Chain A
Amino acid sequence: MLSTFLAVLRRDLLLAWRGRADVLVTLAFFVIVVCLFPFGVGAEPNQLRAIAPGVLWVAALLACLLSLHRLFAQDYSDGTLEQLLLSSEPAALWVTAKVLAFWLSTGLPVVAVAPGLALLLDLEQGALPVLVLSLALGTPILGLLGAVGAALTLGLRGGGMLLALLVLPLFVPVLIFGAGAVEAEMSGTGAAAHLLLLGGGLAGALALAPWACAAALRISTD
């Protein structure tokens, strides 16, 4: 079982490495969205500092959303997905591997770039570890929830917009606790509660989302 997991993980990471331009585009998108905000709301440092957690989180969320369609699209079009579904391995297992590979190739770079962007918005340096931690806990949840949506909209016309409509309401709790963690740290109340809730959410999503995603993939490829 573990070997299947590792094999799918390795394969997806390799594919992501070969198509690394896609990952760079996602990162560039993340950076540009964040950089747009000062133009929109003005470059007043206090204001930027106040909205920084929310801006960074919303931008990370959108970057994740826009790359979600890549999760299954290629495997769907070249038939790999059907082969995987026909195999005797439990689907939830390799779905988890695929989501993990997706997060390592898309989420992790976003998490890594975020502190640099936070400095652009004049976020105080003490809050940076919390920002990174909240993104590191939150973006996998986005990937897991988004995987269900991506599986359901597989191969549909206008699937991208539909995917956004399906998963964005589900992303709201993650956004609240993620951005809330950074704000709580900045206001001095401590981010522990937020981060614990994010961790709990990750555990819950990890337990449930792969099953829902596997079921959705079966339905979509039927």
Chain B
Amino acid sequence: MNAPERSRSLFRFAAPHNFYPLAGRLAPWFAAAALVLTLAGLWLGLFVAPTDATQGEVYRVIFIHVPAAWMSMFVYLMMAFWSGVGLVMNTRLSFIMSQALAPTGAMFCFVALWTGALWGKPTWGAYWVWDARLTSQLLLLFLYFGFIALTRAIEDPRRADRAGAIIALVGAVNVPIIYFSVQWWNTLHQGASVSVTKAPSMATTMLVGMLVMAIAAWMYTIAVVLWRARSMILERERHTEWVGAVLEREMQAKGGRA
């Protein structure tokens, strides 16, 4: 809560003590939206969408595989974005956001790999093929692990924030290069025997179901990240008066017991 931060009214919510209650109010709504959209998406995907002509029922994995893969990439981009904002504007909240995003992004990345493997077995006959997309996804997971491990390994929060931001940005610059190189490597080694890149022609209900699930994943991510950021803010701002007040209220809510 230093002076320059308070003075810029545009960045009011960049101040943790303003952001904390806002996040607390918003998160349940995003969670509720995630729940409703997930149920709607599952209904569309599992009951309404027709059987795929070539793949049969297995294709229904797409309703989580594709949203998870999208999310894992978007979340990394958001992480890099907040890291950049943090380094340029020197706002603590940006670093908190980027670190709060990382575990969820890694989770979606793993989900995308897992569902990809389970989808691959019946379609290509193997749980894993060194396809360009799968391989890039795997490397993205390693990038997430590196970011999380680095920010956890550094005890001084100031250094952890900035070091994490640098590696997130370096990773973001490298993601397109990695994807390009892996694709290049893949075309040389695999030939055309496994064409995963060919998108199956999709019925409208399939597409709608997938989009609904993708939005649900967004809502879920926002809710979880806001909740995680709240804990991190309390931890970091523990010396301030407003956290003291928050803790007092929590204690009263629990009936005076801690």
Contact = CB atoms under 8 A, between A and B. Distances in A.
Establish whether A and B are touching in the complex (CB under 8 Å).
yes
Interface of A: 145, 148-149, 152-153, 156-159, 162, 165-166, 168-170, 172-173, 176-177, 180, 183-184, 201, 208, 212, 215-216, 219-220, 222
Which 5 residue pairs across A and B have the least CB separation, nearest first? A173-B181, A219-B162, A169-B142, A166-B146, A176-B185
A152 B150 contact: yes
B150 A153 contact: yes
B2 to A, nearest CB: 18
Contacts of A168: 142
B117 to A, nearest CB: 19
B154 A156 contact: yes
A152 B185 CA distance: 30
A177 B139 CA distance: 16
Interface in B160-199: 162-163, 166-167, 169-171, 173-174, 177-178, 180-182, 184-185, 188
A165 B142 contact: yes
Contacts of B162: 219, 222
Contacts of B166: 148, 152, 212, 215-216, 219
Main secondary structure on chain B at its contact with chain A? helix
Contacts of B146: 162, 165-166, 169
B149 interface: yes
Nearest to B174: A170
Contacts of A149: 167
Given A165-B142, A166-B149, 19 more contacts: A148-B166, A148-B170, A156-B153, A156-B154, A158-B153, A162-B150, A165-B149, A166-B167, A169-B171, A169-B174, A172-B139, A172-B181, A173-B180, A173-B182, A183-B188, A201-B177, A212-B169, A212-B170, A222-B162
A214 to B, nearest CB: 10
Nearest to B186: A176
A169 B163 contact: no
Contacts of A156: 153-154
29 contacts: A149-B167, A152-B150, A152-B163, A153-B150, A156-B153, A156-B154, A159-B153, A162-B146, A165-B146, A165-B149, A166-B146, A166-B167, A168-B142, A169-B142, A169-B146, A172-B178, A173-B178, A176-B184, A177-B184, A180-B184, A183-B188, A184-B188, A212-B169, A212-B170, A216-B166, A219-B163, A220-B159, A222-B158, A222-B159
Contacts of A176: 181-182, 184-185
